[in-house]
Amino acid sequence: MIEVRDLETMDRSALAALWTRTFKRPVPARMSQPMQRRFLAHAVQVARFGDLPPAIATRLDRIAAGSERKASPALKPGARLLRTWNGVTHVVDVEPDGFRWNGARHRSLSAIARAITGARWSGPRFFGLMTELDQNEQGGGRKRTGSAVRSGGHR
């Protein structure tokens, strides 16, 4: 059985032969060798370890099609969020039942973002937890006047 590491040393003709055996058709015209190696590496891994469970494959298809948004990263208790706004660095600690900022407990990041800025902000957006794609979907292409840093771990 071929190993993924073997793909790196294969020349164009060996890759093409493996492609034809694996996918039962010739390599698509103009497909680069690095791209061939990626597809073949996936096929080798699937043959060895099995494919994704159907539910996960279906969900990934929905995400790729844009019909399901990716979730914001899960924040675990002990994580600390840092956000500089108008020259002041704000520290928010993630707790099991909410968030702690300036010594007070808050139920949501959005409430903290509103308290800091005086405006209605999405808390995950304000603290830099949303992906660039999420921000563009929600009109977040605006310039921000602060910086956000997320750190994990315990205090």
> Where exactly are the structural domains of the chain?
4-51, 80-151
- pLDDT per position as a tens digit, 21-72: 999 999 999 999 999 999 999 999 999 999 989 988 888 888 788 776 555 5
136: Cα within 13 Å, side-chain hemisphere: 4
- Longest CA–CA separation in the chain, Å: 65
Model confidence at 135: pLDDT above 80: no
Q: What is the pLDDT of residues 64-102, one digit of tens each?
A: 887 765 555 678 899 999 999 999 999 999 998 899 999
> Can you tell me the distance from the alpha carbon of 135 to that of 124, in angstroms, rounded to the nearest whole number?
10
Tell me if residue 104 falls in helix, strand or coil.
Answer: strand
Alpha-carbon gap, residue 123 to 73, rounded angstroms:
13
Phi, psi of 21 (to 5 degrees): -65, -40
Judge if pTM exceeds 0.95.
no
